[in-house]
A and B are shown apart, each in its own frame.
Chain A
Amino acid sequence: MLAEAAIDTGTVLRAALRRQAHHWAEAAEQLQDREKLMHAFGRSGIHRVIAQRLERFLEENCSRVLHTARKLLERLKGDADRSQLVTLQRELLGLRELYVSTETAVHFYTDAVNTRTGPHMASILRACDIICKRCMDETLAPLGRTAPHVLTFIDRGLGASILRSEQRLWNGAMSPVAAVKVTYFNMLRPTSLVHESGHQMAFMLGWNEELAAALASTPDVPPAIAKVYGAWASEIAADIFSALHCGYGSVVALHDVVCGNPLQVFAHRADDPHPTGYVRVLLAIAWCRICYGAGPWDALEHSFKQQYDIRMMQMPGLEITRGCAEQVERMAHRCLHTAFKAFGGRTAAQLVDPQRVSPKTLDELERSAGPALYTSPIWLHREPLRTLALNSLRIATEADPAPHYRRQERWMGALGTTVELN
């Protein structure tokens, strides 16, 4: 009792609050130190503009935490009555939340940079940065728009993903650059980079909304099915972008990602923006057929349907998948041949000519450039997307793809050290 009576609640509470505020301030100081968070190679392995933006991001956001902590510490210096202490306690909680959310945001980028573990991985990921930037540049520049810088990083899993540039982050700050996750298993067939960049591009141009409206109102398609397609518009947009830039190779890569458990391939989830896997693959194959006529995609479709025979399946929601599959050809045409305001009144196939990556054109590219296509700084600079398309095509169609994987790796290493993002 005596001990309790000696304690002044206000004093100890203020001391406890002060101690905690000090701690969060100290933590924010640590968070600001880029050398502690990113290893040397990671820092030097990224493009200087991205490095500058990340540094500024780190500084601004950690300063925000520090500033909040210092303001609170200042207020904790003076006397405070009970209600003021409650307010200060609430502010401490706010500081804590601000720190944690800032740490999440900062950690996301520093973690991404740290996946550039050495010269080789740094050059491969810089090649990925270049591919993302270049495919957006080629699409956005004619429309008078500038593509954002992209920081790619490698991670586990099957699916790539993107944290768009100028997207609201955990702590309320805007993302300084786009960040694209590349998966280990597709590192040497990274057409998914173009898919993810397609998300950024479609968002910037407002294409998702336009495409959704176009798909949902496709003539001669049952409205319920058209509406389902409309709900998938954002993912379909990214798939179109990838197919137009990378051709058949990207379709095979998509096929390989989708080909998992049959239940997942056929499952339709109303809240999922991704098309049902079954429909998604058939839609991409239909684009190839529309653009290039007959080709290896016909055999791919045949084997896919053998592997995943919809007639043999029974599961909830299968009717929607079946209904969508029946409309694939119409919807594929709708995707490619509808003029959009987002594209200045052009269709997707007019904006990015699919013939640039037809198997025939890619053969011609390989023949005219020869082995220099994979080594010459000029070819590396001139044709990174079509070389990706060509090698993805070879990996997809050659009986022994191993040499093409090796070549792809060497090419990406050279691309990452030879071409600048500016």
Chain B
Amino acid sequence: MNNENDLETLTLEALSPFADPAMGKEAATQDLYEALGELEAVDPFAATMATGAVAPADPRTSNRNATIAELNDTEMDEVLYNVAGELIERAETGQVMGQFEFGGTKASLGQQAYVNKLADASERFIDRMREHLEAQPMASLTESEIDQLVAQYAGEQEGFTPVQDQFFDKIIKTVGNVVKSGVKAVSKVLPIGPILDKLKKLIKPLLERVLKFAIGKLPKNLQGHARTLAKKFLGLNAEASFANEVETEAGVDVIQHEWNAAVGTIATAQTEAEANAAVDEYNAMSASEDTNDLNAARQRFVQELKQLKPGQDPQPVIENFLPVALVALQPVIKIAISIIGRDKVIGFLAKPLASLVSKYIPESVSVPLATKILDIGLGVMGFETSEEAPSVAAYEAIASTIEESISGMDVSNLVEEATSENLTTARRSMLNAFEAAAANSFPNAYIKEKLRNTTSDGVWMLMPRNAKGNYAYKKYSRVFEVNLDAAKVKSIRTFRHLPLANFLKDKFNIDLSTPVKARVHVYESIKGTWLSKISLHEKVPGLGSAAQHAWNQLHPLSPIAAATLLGEAGLGRQFSPMFTTSRHRIGIGQRFFYLELGRSPVRRPVPTKPGGGTTPPPPQPARSGDVQAVLDFKQGLIRLNTFFSESDAVDIATKLRSNDYAGAAKNIETSIRGTLHGILLNNVGSKVKIIHEASSEQYMDQWLGAAVRAVGGAAAGAVAGVATDVLKGQLEKLANLITDKAVEAVENYFKARAAEFIAAQAEPKDGVTVKLTFNNFPGMAAISTLVQAAKGKLTVGHIADLVLPPKLPMPDVQVKADKVFN
């Protein structure tokens, strides 16, 4: 051992977060991470990352985007997610594996049958539509005639699951919209026959993508950096995530947008060759790549650790594991690795990691460690301990520690400029993260007391245990018994910033006026986790299914939620709104909780389809309150659609029936100010819709994507981000203004027209929508300034200068049963 290595050993010994129970002492701690940068001299690298603004879209792309926006179905991703959920339910182990007939994908027989059934029905439907439409002149068709025509094919398909029904309905809707768009542009685009023919050719590739998503073999274009670029192009997710946050899996939203783009291109194609090219391009994009690499790499890592001889250096084993872990957990580092050199980066990162974990690798240490982990985990988790070897749990803890350290590494500078200094900084941050990572993966007894994240002796276990290493998530071994009361849940928010109290009231009819007992199960996402995978594999009452009613009971566990609910703030993790808005998009390392309440959930009434069928209507969870703002520049008005959950609507209607108008108004105010306004402000991107001549109908996220691109052309990268924030800030101001007026308008409305609300609430529907329309909205022209962004004329200064009207007119009020948004 030379002097340099001696120094590193000493340094890492002091740095180690581990308390060695065998030695019965804790190493003295001091912040020596700083010293790490001097341990190795790394050659300076001259190369830097190529950066640049995204080029403004050309007019042809803009036209096509407008058509895509028109054809856009914002609920399609929900349906695709549910289809994927039903597919993973059919991925039973032990089933005969066969070759999937329209792709190179291996799928179970159940999955094949499921997808084939959908493809056949959809293609049959398109064929019949084509036959019908070719027999009559297109130009004479009105929109309502087209609606009637597609509706006659929309009857229930025999033997479809409710989710398959939903998918089929979406195909019908898409075809209807394509036909309408064809009628509008007749003579400018291909005849409807060839268009439908090409559309039919997209069905199987679409289903193939969803299947690949379900079985973890995603098209390359949906992965990592390529996906980020695709999202930029498509104008998705303009909002930023926190540093180091990485999505667990490419989402169905991109599959949806790719589908929309292909459909839009075909619908606007002027030549058959152009349409064929769109089909070919769509097919070409689905070349697959196995994204379960990290699970496989982890398994290999564990096996290689097991095979190490006493005293053998673990660094080569870690070096084998790191490349896959780095690409999976820090996808943006890929470019830096290619510039600096793979071996150099891997070796540089692996060396200190090897020193830190080496003492836990010999069997004499790993077996007692694994026994301790299993002891803690066994009782509460109830899994079968048919581990391949007693040390596996210990090696998995080491793997988890390394993975989490990589996730915690700050690579922002390194991505900007691939230099040795930045690599050293990144490594320092990785080693800083190592402390917390070890505390998360090892039992408390092995961690220095001041570094422990929890007071309770729980461990995080990779799950499901019977998956032979093909893990889908982590579960905390301890299940917490809690008493929920109004004060406790007050500060806890679930997805969409919805208060947990509302969730309990709306979905379980629990008002918390008396405390309710619950068992809290805690989970963590890893690479490849979806919430529906957690809900499917967790065999606890209320879960055990990949269906929506199960996965929508998982909530983000923020530090505040963890502190108030569990008394263990360290179990919570703060994630940016990007990962707390939709249950379809979650980040690696994000924490979640499930409340086992032992209560029956409330279901939304679902009308039986004509003809009855052989299956009862699907159980659909009752909805919680929601809000949507529509800025309609075409008509110069603003709409605020406020959806009151059935639970809130019942409370309001009960008061109105007793002529307690003040009480009803109070409820309204609480709902709008306390819940709906918060949802609007925290989800501006997905709750504010823009209708403008220049951009057709789009949600803010899509619209901001276009705006940022345009601004980016003039002001470049960083300015675009600032512009986004400023735009959102202005819209928040507008939302505040509108909310105040909305409360006043609804209160007035109740005084005169309470019976309308009572009647709407009594309909056998789920909840009531109050639609407020601000006609001739003052300052609409000023607000329209925002839209200049889409034309590329806006600067940050213009947006910030926007003056909102000081006083608003009273809006028109309409009440509808059910959730009726624009």
Q: Is the CB of B599 within 8 A of A422?
A: yes
Tell me the minimal C-beta distance from A253 to chain B in angstroms: 25
Interface size class of B (residues with CB under 8 A): 35 or more
User: A313 interface residue, CB < 8 Å from B?
Assistant: no
A422 to B543 alpha-carbon distance, docked (Å): 10
Q: Is the CB of B653 within 8 A of A377?
A: no
Q: Which of B16-24, B370-378, B585-593, B613-621 contacts A (4 or more CB under 8 A)?
A: B613-621
A368 to B664 alpha-carbon distance, docked (Å): 13
Q: Is the CB of B603 within 8 A of A368?
A: no
Q: Is the CB of A44 within 8 A of B603?
A: no
Tell me the minimal C-beta distance from B85 to chain A in angstroms: 15
Q: Is the CB of A422 within 8 A of B541?
A: yes
Q: Is the CB of A118 within 8 A of B763?
A: no
Q: Is the CB of A378 within 8 A of B647?
A: yes
With contact pairs A376-B650, A377-B604, A377-B605 given, residues A370 and B762 touching in the complex (Cβ less than 8 Å)? yes
Residues of A within 8 A of B617 (CB): 119, 417
With beta carbons under 8 angstroms apart, the residue of A118, A119, A375 that contacts B764 is: A375
A115-142: CB near B (< 8 Å → 1, else 0) gives 0001100110000001001000000000
User: A249 interface residue, CB < 8 Å from B?
Assistant: no
A98-125 contacts to B (CB < 8 Å): 118-119, 122-123
Q: Is the CB of A381 within 8 A of B657?
A: no
With beta carbons under 8 angstroms apart, the residue of B598, B602, B612 that contacts A377 is: B602
Residues of B within 8 A of A302 (CB): none
- A41, A118, A379, A418 pick with most chain B CB within 10 angstroms: A418
User: A372 interface residue, CB < 8 Å from B?
Assistant: yes
Q: Is the CB of A375 within 8 A of B762?
A: yes
Q: Is the CB of A372 within 8 A of B603?
A: no
User: A371 interface residue, CB < 8 Å from B?
Assistant: yes
User: B228 interface residue, CB < 8 Å from A?
Assistant: no
With contact pairs A376-B650, A382-B509 given, residues A417 and B602 touching in the complex (Cβ less than 8 Å)? no
User: A45 interface residue, CB < 8 Å from B?
Assistant: yes
Q: Is the CB of A418 within 8 A of B603?
A: yes
Tell me the minimal C-beta distance from B266 to chain A in angstroms: 38
A339-377: CB near B (< 8 Å → 1, else 0) gives 000000000000000000000000000011111100111
Q: Is the CB of A370 within 8 A of B647?
A: no
B117-138: CB near A (< 8 Å → 1, else 0) gives 0000000000000000000000
User: B622 interface residue, CB < 8 Å from A?
Assistant: yes
B339-379: CB near A (< 8 Å → 1, else 0) gives 00000000000000000000000000000000000000000
User: B3 interface residue, CB < 8 Å from A?
Assistant: no
By secondary structure, the A interface counts as helix
Q: Is the CB of A376 within 8 A of B761?
A: yes
With contact pairs A44-B616, A45-B616, A370-B657 given, residues A417 and B603 touching in the complex (Cβ less than 8 Å)? yes
With contact pairs A417-B606, A420-B601, A422-B601 given, residues A371 and B619 touching in the complex (Cβ less than 8 Å)? no
A375 to B606 alpha-carbon distance, docked (Å): 12
Q: Is the CB of A377 within 8 A of B600?
A: no
Q: Is the CB of B622 within 8 A of A123?
A: no
Tell me the minimal C-beta distance from B540 to chain A in angstroms: 12
With beta carbons under 8 angstroms apart, the residue of B603, B653, B761 that contacts A420 is: B603
B513-546: CB near A (< 8 Å → 1, else 0) gives 0000000000000000000000000000110010
Residues of B within 8 A of A382 (CB): 509
Q: Is the CB of A378 within 8 A of B616?
A: no
With beta carbons under 8 angstroms apart, the residue of B549, B616, B764 that contacts A123 is: B616
User: A173 interface residue, CB < 8 Å from B?
Assistant: no
Tell me the minimal C-beta distance from A323 to chain B in angstroms: 46
With contact pairs A40-B614, A368-B657 given, residues A421 and B646 touching in the complex (Cβ less than 8 Å)? no
User: B766 interface residue, CB < 8 Å from A?
Assistant: yes
Q: Is the CB of A417 within 8 A of B605?
A: yes
Q: Is the CB of A377 within 8 A of B622?
A: yes
User: A414 interface residue, CB < 8 Å from B?
Assistant: yes
User: A419 interface residue, CB < 8 Å from B?
Assistant: yes
Residues of A within 8 A of B605 (CB): 375, 377, 414, 417-418
A123 to B764 alpha-carbon distance, docked (Å): 15
A142-161: CB near B (< 8 Å → 1, else 0) gives 00001000000000000000
With contact pairs A118-B612, A372-B650, A381-B509 given, residues A367 and B619 touching in the complex (Cβ less than 8 Å)? no
Tell me the minimal C-beta distance from B506 to chain A in angstroms: 9
Tell me the minimal C-beta distance from B321 to chain A in angstroms: 40
| A421 nearest CB neighbor, chain B only | B600
User: B658 interface residue, CB < 8 Å from A?
Assistant: yes
User: B413 interface residue, CB < 8 Å from A?
Assistant: no
User: B76 interface residue, CB < 8 Å from A?
Assistant: no
By secondary structure, the B interface counts as loop
Residues of B within 8 A of A41 (CB): 614-616
A118 to B611 alpha-carbon distance, docked (Å): 11
Q: Is the CB of A418 within 8 A of B602?
A: yes
Q: Is the CB of A367 within 8 A of B602?
A: no
Q: Is the CB of B608 within 8 A of A119?
A: yes
With beta carbons under 8 angstroms apart, the residue of B598, B614, B615 that contacts A422 is: B598
A381 to B761 alpha-carbon distance, docked (Å): 15
Q: Is the CB of A376 within 8 A of B762?
A: yes
With contact pairs A370-B653, A417-B606, A420-B600 given, residues A375 and B763 touching in the complex (Cβ less than 8 Å)? yes
Residues of B within 8 A of A375 (CB): 605, 762-764
A378 to B624 alpha-carbon distance, docked (Å): 12
Tell me the minimal C-beta distance from B575 to chain A in angstroms: 29
B761-790 contacts to A (CB < 8 Å): 761-764, 766
Q: Is the CB of B762 within 8 A of A371?
A: yes
User: B758 interface residue, CB < 8 Å from A?
Assistant: yes
User: B283 interface residue, CB < 8 Å from A?
Assistant: no
Residues of A within 8 A of B657 (CB): 367-370
With beta carbons under 8 angstroms apart, the residue of B509, B549, B613 that contacts A378 is: B509
Q: Is the CB of B612 within 8 A of A378?
A: no
A367-422 contacts to B (CB < 8 Å): 367-372, 375-379, 381-382, 414, 417-422
A367 to B659 alpha-carbon distance, docked (Å): 12
| B159 nearest CB neighbor, chain A only | A40
Tell me the minimal C-beta distance from A180 to chain B in angstroms: 18
A367 to B545 alpha-carbon distance, docked (Å): 40
User: B654 interface residue, CB < 8 Å from A?
Assistant: yes
A418 to B764 alpha-carbon distance, docked (Å): 10
Residues of B within 8 A of A421 (CB): 600
Residues of B within 8 A of A377 (CB): 602-605, 622, 646, 766
Q: Is the CB of B602 within 8 A of A378?
A: yes
- B654, B658, B762 pick with most chain A CB within 10 angstroms: B762
Q: Is the CB of B542 within 8 A of A422?
A: yes
Q: Is the CB of B650 within 8 A of A370?
A: no
A369 to B649 alpha-carbon distance, docked (Å): 11
A212 to B364 alpha-carbon distance, docked (Å): 65
Tell me the minimal C-beta distance from A179 to chain B in angstroms: 20
Residues of A within 8 A of B658 (CB): 368
B485-526: CB near A (< 8 Å → 1, else 0) gives 000000000000000000000000100000000000000000
| B605 nearest CB neighbor, chain A only | A418
B66-113 contacts to A (CB < 8 Å): none
A376 to B646 alpha-carbon distance, docked (Å): 7
17 contacts between A and B (CB under 8 A): A119-B608, A119-B613, A123-B616, A367-B657, A369-B657, A370-B758, A372-B761, A375-B762, A376-B646, A376-B650, A376-B764, A377-B646, A378-B602, A381-B602, A382-B509, A418-B603, A422-B542
Q: Closest 8 A-B residue pairs measured CB to CB?
A: A422-B600, A375-B764, A372-B762, A371-B762, A378-B650, A381-B602, A378-B646, A418-B603
Give 4 A-B pairs besides A118-B612, A378-B622, A379-B650 with Cβ atoms closer than 8 angstroms.
A119-B608, A368-B658, A418-B605, A422-B599
Residues of B at the A interface (CB closer than 8 Å) are 509, 541-542, 545, 549, 598-606, 608, 612-617, 619, 622, 646-647, 649-650, 653-654, 657-658, 758, 761-764, 766
